[in-house]
């Protein structure tokens, strides 16, 4: 992008630029997310398979077969043979060790998924920020830049969640306000090289007086995410049942595979929208020369001094 595009943006303009940036850099953004999400999803599928192998899984299938047999042979429905025909066939036993391994795997992969989301979101924000300021970086450079800030981003994320949760306990509304205040914490940390608490304070300063705009952007991103994710969920469930209706493992694989594809497509949209919103609020509230800001960030100076108009 060129310097003449550094201007205040309406909600519609932010969304329009979001999809333009997404379309023009689709492969790069998808790669940033896929590098993290695909391996974690494979681990999740393996853990799920352990759980399913450790728990008897034939009861449902036998019940369907028994019902079908009863419809086809109503005269034999009460015979001893028909009652035991399906209940004793192919019976599985619980395997505590396999269940334990699967459970541990599910917990570990769930944690990895949350941590991975923080990391890839930071890399996305860095990549989009550079594009917005007129420069480009590779996927590797984006992750290399964000990695030293990883613990800071995690700490900030935990504090934001705790504060928002506490606010939700206080009659809900404070939690919503806290969530809006701290919605720009990650962009502030990544762009301005701030620590967790300063990033939260910076986000609150930018958000003050603009909560309605942040709420509108957040709501629209959620709606867009549903529009993208729901068809993938339906398609995964449908394909799994049609292609592998007798194999729970393969059904699960198809469901999780389609779900992660939807996730990979969704995550960049939110990251782009929020970094554009971050710059929009800096332009509106601070009025500094963004060309100088771009030069300062490119030279690695870190935090930027605001130039008041």
**pLDDT per position as a tens digit, 101-139:** 777 877 888 899 899 999 999 999 999 999 988 888 999
Q: Would you say residue 270 lies in a domain?
A: yes
- Report, as an integer, the average pLDDT of 190-212: 94
Residue range 33-62: mean pLDDT, rounded: 72
The distance of Cα 65 from the centroid of its chain, to the nearest Å, equals: 40
Mean residue pLDDT across the chain: 80
| 192 located within any domain | no
pLDDT band with cut points at 50, 70 and 90 for residue 75? low
The answer to whether residue 268 sits within a structural domain is yes
> Which band of pLDDT confidence, cut at 50, 70 and 90, is reported for residue 72?
low
The answer to whether residue 233 is domain-embedded is yes
Q: Please tell me the predicted confidence (pLDDT) of residue 237.
A: 81
The pLDDT score that the predictor gives to residue 215 is 96
Domain count, the chain: 1
What percent of the chain clears pLDDT 70, i.e. is strictly above it?
75
Q: Looking at the predicted structure, is the pLDDT value of residue 273 above 90?
A: yes
Q: Do the domain assignments include residue 90?
A: no
Range of the domain at 39: 3-68+96-138+210-298
Say yes or no to pLDDT of 180 above 60.
Answer: yes
Residue 293 confidence (pLDDT) above 80: no
For residue 222, pLDDT beyond 50: yes
Does some domain include residue 196?
no
pLDDT at 138: 93
**Residue 174 resides in a domain:** no
* Whether the predicted pLDDT of 218 surpasses 60: yes
Is 204 part of a structural domain of the chain?
A: no
Taking each helix axis from N to C end, the angle separating 248-286 and 185-192, rounded to the nearest 10 degrees, works out to: 70
Structure confidence at residue 67 as a pLDDT band (50, 70, 90): low
């Amino acid at each position: 992008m060129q310097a003449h595009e550094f201007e205040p943006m309406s909600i519609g303009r932010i969304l329009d630029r979001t999809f333009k940036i997404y379309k023009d850099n689709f492969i790069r953004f998808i790669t940033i997310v896929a590098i993290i999400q695909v391996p974690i999803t494979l681990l999740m599928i393996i853990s799920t398979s352990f759980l399913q192998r450790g728990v008897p899984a034939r009861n449902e299938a036998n019940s369907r077969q028994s019902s079908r047999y009863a419809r086809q042979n109503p005269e034999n429905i009460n015979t001893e043979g028909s009652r035991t025909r399906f209940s004793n066939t192919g019976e599985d036993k619980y395997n505590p060790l396999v269940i334990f391994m699967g459970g541990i795997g599910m917990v570990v992969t769930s944690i990895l998924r949350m941590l991975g989301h923080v990391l890839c979101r930071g890399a996305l924000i860095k990549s989009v920020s550079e594009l917005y300021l007129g420069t480009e970086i590779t996927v590797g450079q984006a992750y290399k830049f964000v990695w030293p800030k990883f613990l800071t981003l995690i700490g900030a994320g935990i504090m934001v969640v705790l504060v928002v949760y506490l606010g939700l306990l206080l009659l809900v509304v404070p939690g919503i306000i806290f969530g809006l205040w701290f919605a720009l914490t990650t962009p502030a940390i990544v762009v301005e090289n701030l620590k967790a608490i300063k990033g939260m304070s910076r986000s609150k300063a930018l958000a003050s007086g603009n909560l309605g705009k942040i709420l509108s952007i957040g709501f629209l991103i959620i709606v867009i995410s549903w529009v993208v994710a729901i068809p993938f969920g339906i398609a995964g469930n449908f394909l799994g049942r049609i292609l592998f209706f007798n194999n729970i493992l393969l059904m699960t694989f198809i469901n999780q595979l389609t779900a992660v594809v939807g996730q990979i497509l969704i995550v960049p949209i939110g990251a782009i929208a929020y970094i554009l919103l971050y710059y929009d609020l800096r332009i509106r509230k601070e009025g500094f020369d963004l060309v100088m800001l771009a030069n300062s960030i490119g030279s690695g100076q870190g935090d930027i001094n605001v130039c008041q108009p």
